[in-house]
Amino acid sequence: MAYLLQPLPQLSTLLDSRRSYKKTTIPHAVAVTSSSTNGQDLLRRVSGLCETGNLHESFRVIEEFDREERSTSDAFLLLREALGLLLQASGRRKDIHLGRKIHQLVSESTLLSNDDVLCTRVITMYSLCGSPDESRSAFDALLKKNLFQWNAVISSYSRNELYRDVIEMFIKMITESDLSPDNFTFPCVVKACAGVSEVRVGLAVHGFAVKTSLVDDVFVSNALVSFYGAHGFVSDALKLFEMMPERNLVSWNSMIRVFSDNGFSEECFLLLGKMMEEDDGAFMPDVATLATVLPVCARERDIGVGKCVHGWAVKLSLDKELVVSNALTDMYSKCGCVNDAQIIFKLNSNKNVVSWNTMIGGFSAVGDVHGTFDLLRQMLAGGEDVRADEVTILNAVPVCFDESVLPSLKELHCYSLKQEFVHDELVANAFVASYAKCGALSYAHRVFCSIRSKTVNSWNALIGGYSQSSDPRLSLEAYLQMKGSGLLPDLFTISSLLSACSQLKSLHLGKEVHGFIIRNWLERDSFVYTSLLSLYIHCGELSTADVLFDRMEDKTLVSWNTMVNGYLHNGFPERALSLFRQMVLYGVQPCEISMMSVFGACSLLPSLQLGREAHAYALKRLLQDNAFIACSVIDMYAKNGSVTQSLKVFDGLKEKGVASWNAVIMGYGVHGLAKEAIQLFEEMQRTGHSPDELTFLGVLTACNHSGLVHEGVRYLDQMKHSFGMKPKLKHYACVIDMLGRAGKLDKALKIATEEMSEEPDVGIWNSLLSSCRIHQNLEMGEDIAAKLIELEPERTENYVLLSNLYAGSGKWDEVRKVRQRMKEMSLRKDAGCSWIELNGKVFNFVAGESSSDGFEEIKSRWSVVETDIWKLGYRPDTSSVQHELSEEEKIEQLRGHSEKLAITYGLIRTSEGTTLRVYKNLRICVDCHNAAKLISKAMEREIVVRDNKRFHHFKNGFCSCGDYW
C-alpha cells in the first residue's frame, strides 16, 4: 500500500510550493427580528410555498417584500435568507428558469451579489438543474472565491459526470488560490479519477490526502476505496478499508460494491455478513446495500442468498423502496423464479420504467412470448406516466427467435419506428438479429441497410443472425462484404463464423477460420476457443475437440459444458458423464446447463439409478427450483420408464410453466398413456397456460401410440384453427404414422402429398412404408420404397423395410434381390440389441449371439420360463421372422431375440417382485411382446420395455399399449 500513497512527483512539487493556507469561513443564517409584519411572515410563507412546490408564488412574495422593505436595516438579511431557501427549492425541483430569475435578482444587487452564501447556492442550483456551464459562469463572475464556492463548482462537474473538468478545476484551485482542499473536495476529485480512468492522478490525489492528514477522514477514505475498486485494485481497496480508523455504513457499502463489481461474489456475501455482526449489529443494510447485493445473487443465480436478502429487506421495511423492489424482481427473474418476480412486480405500487423493463426482461429471458408481449401492451396502455424506452425494446426483442413470433416482432418494430427508437444502434442491431433468427432474412437485411453508419457491431448483428438462421452460408457472404467495406472482424465476428460452419457441418471452412485465429493470436480468448470446440464437435471430430480441450489452460464452465454436451449429442453418454465427474473433481461448480446434459445422458443410456443420483445432486445444489432443470428431470424419469416419478416431480413444482407442462405431457405421450396426457392438456389450459407446438406434439404422440385416430386428427385441426399454429413436419409425422398404422393409408398418403406445406422427409416416408408392410399394401409400399431409395440410396433402413414388405407378402425372390443389392452396396442391417440395468451396471445382449457370459444359464432359465408361459397360452408367432426358414428354425431364432435374453437375465439376477427395465434399439416384435405379457403374469413381475418408438408396461398379462404399437 505504501507505494500507492506516494503522489506524482510533479504534483508533489506543486503542492510543496503552495502558499500558506488561510481558513475561510462562511456566514451562518442570522436570527432576524423585524417590526414589520411582512418581515415576520416572510420566511414562514416562503418556506411553506417551497415545500408545496409553489416556487413562482414564493418568488412573487419575495419580490413584493423587496419593494416594500428595501429601506429597513433587517430587510437584506431576511431577503438573503428567503432567496437562499428558494434557490435550494429550485435546484431540488430542477426549475432552472426560476433559478435564472433569482440569479438575475442577486446579480443586480450589490449587497446580494457579494454574499458568499447566495453565490454558493446559485452555483449549486445550476448544478442540480443539470447546467454545469452556468455553474461555472456564476463562479467565474465572482470577484473573490472561497473554498465553498470552489467545492460547489467542482461538485457541479462531478454531479454531471464531467470528470475531466473536475480534475481541471481541482488543479486550478490548488495552483491559482491559497486554498486547501477539504473532506468535501477530495471525494469529488477521487470520484472523477475513477470516472476517467486517471489512475496516476488518482494515486497523486491519494498522496495529497495523506500529506494533508485527510486520508483518515471517513468520506475521503470511502471515495478512495471506490476509486481502487473501479480500477480493479481489489486488494488495495481492501487494505485501505481495513486501515480506516472509522467506518460508516457507506464504507461497508463501498467495499461490498468493490467486491461485487470485480466479480468476487462470495467475498461480497461474506463481507455483508461481517458488516451485520460488527459492533453487535450497529450497521444494518440500507437501500444501497441491498441494491448492490441483489444483483450479485442474480448474476450467480443464487436463489438461496437472494431469498435471505429479501427477508432482510422485509424485516427492515425496505422491500417497498423502488430500487429494492426492482432489484428483487430482477433477482427472482434471473434465478428462474418468474412467478415470484411477478408477485414482487405486482406489489410495487410505484412502478417506474425500470420496473416494467425488468419484468419484461424476465419473461423474455425464459422465452415466455405471451408474458412478454402481454406485459408490454399493459405498459403501453398505461398512459403517459411510464413510457417505453430503448431498453424496453432491447429486453423484449430477444424473445422473438422463432418463426411463430414473427408477427409480434413486426408489431414491436413498427412501434419502435414510430417512437424513433430504431435510430439507436443497439435497437437496430437487435432487430437485425431477431429477424434473422425468425427466418425473415429479407427483413433482417432491410433493417441492416437502413442503418446509416454501420459499425462492426452492426455487421456482427447481421452475421450472427445469419449464422443461426436456416441459411448459415449468408453469414459467410456478409463477412466478405464487411471486409470489403474496410472493417476488420472482432472476436464476436469470428465466433459467429465458427457457429455458421458448425451449423453447416463444414469442416473445411471451419479449419480456414481456425487458421485465421491462429495467425492472429486469438486462441487465448475463451469465447473463441469454446466456439472452436463446438465446431469440431458438430463436425463429429471429437478427437480434435479432445486435443484442443486438453490444451486449454483456463477451462471455463462454458468449455466444460460444451465438451459434455458434445459427447452427449454424438451418442457417447458414458463419456459425457465421465467428463462431468472430472469437471466436479476439478472444483468447477456445475450450473443448470451442466445438469441438463447429465440428465440427458441418463435418458440416453438409459440409467434410472444414475438419473436418481443426478436428481439427488441437483437437490443438494438447490437447483430443483430451476424450470429447465425441472423439465430435464421430468423427461429423464419418463425416458427411464418411471412416468409416475415424472408426475411426482411435476406435482412438486412451485411454478408450472409451459415447458414443464410440455415435459410431463410428452412423458405420458411416449408411454402411450393418451387418456392421462389429454387430461393434463385440458388441465394446462384451465390453469391459464396456452399450449405451444411442443404441447401439441406431446398430445399427438399420445394419440398415435394409443390408436386414438379421431382424437389425433381433431387435435391437429385444433392446433391449426383454434390456436393459429402452423403444424411442422414432426406434427404431421405423428398423424401420418397414426393413420397408417390404423390402416388409413390413403388418407395418410393424401396428407403427406397434398396437405403439408413442406416436402415429406425420410422419416414420414419410412413410417408410411412400415404401415404398408403391416397392412400388406404391396403396390403403395413399392412406390414409397422407390421414393425413399431415390432420396437416400445408401440408407440401410430403406432396404430393410422393403425386404420386410416383400417377406410379409411371401415374395422371397424379391427379398433375395433386395438383400443381394444390400450386399453389393456393403449395407448391413443393425442387429437387434437390448440392455438391462442391474445395480447400476448395464448388461448388453445381441440377438442370436451365444458367446456372451452366462448364455447357457440364460438358455436354461428360458426353457423353464417358456414352459410356464406355454401353459398360459403362449405360442411362438413366426411371422416376426423375416427369413425363409423352416418353422422350427424360426422358433429357435425367436428364442434368441435380444429382449428375451435381457428379460431372462433380469429374472435370474433380481429378487422376486423387482421391476425389470429393458431397453431395445429396434421396435419390439409381436412374438416378444406376447411373451413379455405372459412372463409378467407367470412371474408376477412388472416389466418395462422401451423400444425405439415407445414404452411398453407389462403387468398381470397385459401391456399398457393395448396391443397397439
Residues 641-695 have pLDDT tens digits of: 899 999 999 999 888 889 999 999 999 999 989 999 999 999 999 999 999 999 9
* CA dihedral sign of residues 863, 868, 871, 877: negative
Look at the alpha carbons of 458, 462, 464, 465 in this order and tell me if their dihedral is positive or negative. positive
Q: How far is CA 159 from CA 198, 684, 861, in A?
A: 18, 53, 87
Q: What is the mean pLDDT of residues 74-99?
A: 90
How far is 158 from 911, CA to CA, in rounded Å?
A: 79
Rounded to whole angstroms, the Cα distance separating 829 from 819 reads 10
Judged on CB neighbours under 10 Å (0-12, 13-18, 19+), 267 is middle
Helix (H) or strand (E) holding 838: strand 833-838
DSSP count for the chain of H helices, then E strands: 52, 6
Mean pLDDT of 589-606: 90
> Has residue 23 got a pLDDT over 70?
no
pLDDT at position 21 over 50: no
The secondary structure of residue 872, as a DSSP letter, is T
The answer to whether the CB of 189 falls within 8 A of the CB of 220 is no
Per-residue CA distances from 766 to 735, 741, 747, 802 (Å): 14, 12, 16, 10
Alpha carbons 869 and 878: distance in angstroms, whole number: 17
Residue 427 grid coordinates: 435497437
CB-count burial class (<10 Å; 0-12, 13-18, 19+) for 36: middle
pLDDT tops 60 at residue 16:
no
Confidence (pLDDT) at 27: 39
**252 vs 194: CA distance, rounded Å:** 19
Largest CA distance in the chain: 132
SS3 353: helix
Return d(Cα 881, Cα 398) in angstroms, integer. 54
Note the pLDDT of residue 196: 86
Q: What average pLDDT score do residues 853-874 get?
A: 92
pLDDT band at 852 (very low <50, low <70, confident <90, very high): low
Residue 855 is predicted with a pLDDT of 86
pLDDT digits (tens, 9 = 90+) for 731-757: 999 999 999 999 999 999 999 999 888
Instruction: For residues 695-699, give the mean pLDDT.
Output: 96
Q: How does 180-193 read in b/e, with b if 16+ C-beta sit within 10 Å?
A: bbbbbbbbbbbbbb
pLDDT band with cut points at 50, 70 and 90 for residue 830: confident
pLDDT of residue 592: 87
Phi/psi for 917 (5° steps) reads: -120, 115
Identify the pLDDT of residue 508: 93
Give the lowest-confidence range in 21-35, 84-98, 227-241, 506-520.
21-35
User: According to DSSP H, which parts of 381-490 are helical?
Assistant: 390-396, 406-418, 425-437, 441-450, 456-467, 473-484
Nearest to 158 by CA among 198, 194, 134: 194
Confidence class for position 383, pLDDT limits 50, 70, 90: low
Spatial separation of the C-alpha atoms in residues 5 and 318, rounded to whole Å:
38
- Helix, strand or coil, per DSSP, at residue 415: helix
Q: Are strands 916-920 and 943-946 parallel, antiparallel or unpaired?
A: parallel
Q: Which three cell numbers stand for residue 336?
A: 428462474
Residue 34 pLDDT class (50, 70, 90 cuts) = very low
Give mean pLDDT, residues 397-402: 91
Alpha-carbon gap, residue 358 to 294, rounded angstroms: 13
Confidence of residue 243 (pLDDT cuts 50, 70, 90): very high
CA 349, chain centre distance (Å): 28
With 0-12 / 13-18 / 19 or more C-beta atoms within 10 angstroms meaning exposed / middle / buried, residue 524 is exposed
> Does the structure show a pLDDT above 60 at 32?
no
Region 822-835: what's the mean pLDDT? 88
pLDDT of residue 627: 81
Whether the ω angle into residue 590 lies within 30 degrees of 0, i.e. cis, is no
Instruction: State the chain's mean pLDDT as an integer.
Output: 89
Which pLDDT tens digit goes with each residue over 158-189?
999 999 999 999 999 999 999 999 999 999 99
More confident of the two residues 606 and 8: 606
Q: Is 953 helix (H, G, I), strand (E, B) or coil?
A: strand
pLDDT of residue 9: 35
Give the highest mean pLDDT range of 61-70, 464-473, 587-596, 925-934.
925-934
Average pLDDT score over residue span 789-795 = 90
Place of cell 481497496: 237
C-alpha 916/C-alpha 923 separation (Å) is 18
% of the chain exceeding 90 in pLDDT: 71
In 3D space, the residue among 515, 474, 508 whose CA is nearest the CA of residue 494 turns out to be 515
Where are the extended beta strands (E) located within 514-642?
none
